[in-house]
Homo-oligomer: A and B are copies of this chain.
Amino acid sequence: MESYLVFKDLAIIIVFAKFFGIVARKLKAPQVVGEIVAGLLIGPSVLGLVAQTDFLSGMAEIGVILLMFTAGLETNLSDLKKTGLKSCLIACAGVFVPLVFGTLLFMFFYGFHPMGTEGFYRALFVGVIITATSVSITVETLREMGKLKGEIGTTIVSAAIIDDVIGIVVLSFVIGFKNPDSNPVSVIWNTVVFFSIAIVSGYIIYKIFKKLSKRYPHKRRISIMGLALCLVFSYIAERYFGIADITGAFVAGVILCNLRDSEYIAEQMDLNSYILFAPLFFASIGLKTQISEMSWGLLAFSVVFVIVALLSKIIGCGLMGRLCGYRGRDCLKIGVGMMTRGEVALIVAQKGLSVGMLDSKYFTSVILLIIVSSVLTPIVLKMLFKKDESTQVTV
């Protein structure tokens, strides 16, 4: 690979993402929407200026990790404790309702099959795909509005993290029932062990960082070590426990969130991701889409699929939110904040493809869901928050 070829792609992505980001902001929509539109525009579907490469998806992956690490750093642990049980219940409902609705949708389109049959599992897998919330776009939107640290923000982020874990457990279960290689008991075991190790090692790591931070306050080495911790946790989570790397990155952030220098680290990570990695990630979502592959039958399924995926999250999370005592509009915010799907849905779909539980053509539906939810969520969220308060300092 001639490495200078990468520069062209990066330059095009940065210029377009920044330009459309500013346009989106001028139109009162979040910057993120503009960046996704930029990716769609320069991607194979429209202008064809940039194609997804291993290098770009690697960079985008670093972008996701940095976003989740920063979100973890900005977590308020005492808030998390306050919303802990509620978040857990919301996450459970947010997994269960889409799982059932997604399964029924596929059966409605392609025929009902009794439990335990091949057809049943194929339908169930479509439900699994729409269980995993991708919180990065919601996080970015909430941060832009300065709402990330509020009660709703913390509830959404916590629920999304728990939802991610539950979603991956469900995925492993479904694959486990079909594939004798994957053992559901070991999946539960892995999850429990990962979080136990994270809590114990996290406590020790926090103490070490606290000492370092006292000795070298506001020194770049703290940020660099933080970044290394984030990378290590992402890697270990995915490699040894089968848990999504973004969960690892978030946990690494949470470990350091009570540090005196946590804001300093978050600032430096934010700068790194803001200039290069985050625009790359959001543009890459647009890049992945190939509109031309659509047929009318698939389009019909995809449209209903997207609607069901979005509504089932809003219904599941919103209703459970109501049961947990949130007022109506806040339930809607939680439901909308949870309805975004992202790279996790794609990873799940890819896994389904590789184990033979999903046809490759449904990939387009998943990408459509990611695009629609990524574009809709920030706009609707902003509208919901705007209606509440008319004056609010934006970052």
Contact = CB atoms under 8 A, between A and B. Distances in A.
A45 B272 CA distance: 32
A220 B14 contact: no
Interface residues of A, number: 41
A61 B3 CA distance: 7
Interface in A58-106: 58, 61-62, 65
A13 to B, nearest CB: 9
Interface string A1-24: 111111110110011001000100
B275 A3 contact: no
A227 interface: yes
Given A18-B228, A220-B271, 17 more contacts: A1-B57, A2-B238, A4-B61, A4-B234, A4-B238, A4-B245, A7-B232, A7-B234, A11-B232, A11-B235, A14-B224, A18-B225, A55-B55, A227-B276, A268-B275, A271-B272, A272-B276
Nearest to A221: B18
26 contacts: A1-B57, A3-B57, A3-B58, A4-B235, A4-B239, A4-B245, A6-B58, A7-B231, A7-B234, A8-B231, A8-B232, A10-B62, A11-B232, A14-B224, A14-B231, A15-B228, A18-B221, A18-B224, A22-B221, A54-B55, A220-B271, A220-B274, A227-B275, A268-B275, A271-B272, A272-B275
A62 B6 contact: yes
Contacts of A232: 7-8, 11
Contacts of A365: none
A135 B354 CA distance: 48
Interface string A228-265: 10011011001100000100000000000000000000
Contacts of A10: 62, 231
Contacts of A22: 221
B61 A6 contact: yes
B8 A239 contact: yes
Contacts of A4: 61, 234-235, 238-239, 245
A154 interface: no
A287 to B, nearest CB: 15
A269 B227 CA distance: 17
A12 B286 CA distance: 31
A223 interface: yes
A8 B54 contact: no
| Closest 5 pairs (CB-CB, A-B) | A11-B231, A3-B61, A7-B235, A4-B238, A7-B231
A227 B14 CA distance: 9
A270 to B, nearest CB: 10
Contact of A1 (B54, B221, B231, B268): B54
Nearest to A229: B11
Contacts of A235: 4-5, 7-8, 11
Nearest to A244: B4
Contacts of A65: 7
